[in-house]
Amino acid sequence: MKEKEFITDIKNILNSKYIGDDCAYLQDLGIVITQDSLVEDVHFSRKFITPYQLGFKSVMVNISDVCASGAKPAYLTISLSLPDDITENFIREFYKGAKAAAEDVEIVGGDITGADKIYISVAAVGSTTGRRISSRANAKIGQKVIVSGNHGSSCAGLKELFTGKKESKFITTHLQPTAQRNFAQKIAANIKEDYAMMDTSDGLMDALSAIASESNVLLSIDFDKIPYDKDLEKFVNWQDLIFYGGEDYQLVATVPDTDIYGTVIGEVKAGNGVEIHYTDKTVLYTKSDVEKKLFKHFKEKE
């Protein structure tokens, strides 16, 4: 898949101001909207994930996108395309998981069709009433970089699944992630200035790099301040899991001193890219460094 090139093509054809953030902010309607798909044997394998977890995760990744925008998740639609061997029990478990992840967000429609593999596409709508909406282009010099939760756990869980392990805290994080509703709500309902926010679906470094690039700033990050589960250190290249692992569905935001609701990991400065301060060295990652590294990481995953 040449996804990055395709997206550039699509942006050129559509010439839309909306394409860029995880959600599109439709000001005239007072809503945000997002849509994300999960494809069997691309994003998940029936070997590893239960139907309940699949329903749960499909909904949660979209709720996470709405949270990243600052809007209040309100409604969902789910399109399911399913092979002939899918049973009614699969459907029941899938929707139980979907409903559990949705909590007070109502599932209001969608469709169901045949296919040769499982395809799931979820659209989510959030209400912007009483919330300030984020943009990855909004980071301003002097703002603090804050994050929710632990980073790297989901990818550690994926690695454990590949080794044949069935259950662990990391595996639960991978198969049944939690969107950071409270973190998002506290910022979006209280903050008095524009801010950037993204989820870490494609990894912490991807989010930091996208905010730096779209906002034309340098994000200066202290590695020691990034929260992670200490058991992560047992994994080979564990620092890569933190930066490039993805699917943690934590949030990263740039906010003023008055709105610190998570862990401060750094600061927005003049410059370009992402600078990581380790105890013994400082490494600057440009946008193209990150893209190469992400690409390499994905190649290794396959």
State the residues that interact with a copy of itself by CB under 8 A. 1-3, 5-7, 9-10, 13-14, 16, 18-19, 23-24, 26, 28-31, 33-37, 39, 41-43, 74-75, 77-79, 81-82, 84, 88, 91-92, 95-96, 99, 106-117, 119, 121, 123, 125, 127
Where b means 16+ CB within 10 Å and e means fewer, 203-238 reads bbbbbbbbbbbbbebbbbbbbeebebbeebeebeeb
Q: Tell me how far, at minimum, the Cβ of 15 lies from a copy of itself, in Å.
A: 9
Instruction: Please give the span between the terminal C-alpha atoms of the chain, in angstroms, as a whole number.
Output: 12
Question: Please, which residue, 11 or 165, has the CB nearer to a copy of itself?
Answer: 11
Question: Please, which residue, 25 or 285, has the CB nearer to a copy of itself?
Answer: 25
Q: Show the CA angle centred on residue 276, arms to residues 271 and 279, nearest 5°.
A: 135
Q: Tell me how far, at minimum, the Cβ of 34 lies from a copy of itself, in Å.
A: 6
**Which residues fall within 8 angstroms of residue 120, CB to CB, at 6 or more apart?**
37, 38, 39, 54, 58, 78, 79, 80, 81
CA distance 153 to 177: 10
Q: Tell me how far, at minimum, the Cβ of 245 lies from a copy of itself, in Å.
A: 18
Question: Please, which residue, 96 or 269, has the CB nearer to a copy of itself?
Answer: 96
Question: Please, which residue, 67 or 74, has the CB nearer to a copy of itself?
Answer: 74
CA distance 141 to 157: 36
Q: Tell me how far, at minimum, the Cβ of 226 lies from a copy of itself, in Å.
A: 27
Residue 58 contacts residue 69 (beta carbons within 8 Å):
no
CA distance 81 to 78: 10
Which residues sit opposite 148 in a β-bridge? none
CA distance 152 to 241: 5
CA distance 144 to 235: 30
Question: Please, which residue, 36 or 289, has the CB nearer to a copy of itself?
Answer: 36
CA distance 221 to 19: 27
Question: Please, which residue, 60 or 218, has the CB nearer to a copy of itself?
Answer: 60
Question: Please, which residue, 65 or 160, has the CB nearer to a copy of itself?
Answer: 65
Q: Tell me how far, at minimum, the Cβ of 268 lies from a copy of itself, in Å.
A: 26
Q: Tell me how far, at minimum, the Cβ of 125 lies from a copy of itself, in Å.
A: 6
Q: Tell me how far, at minimum, the Cβ of 275 lies from a copy of itself, in Å.
A: 30
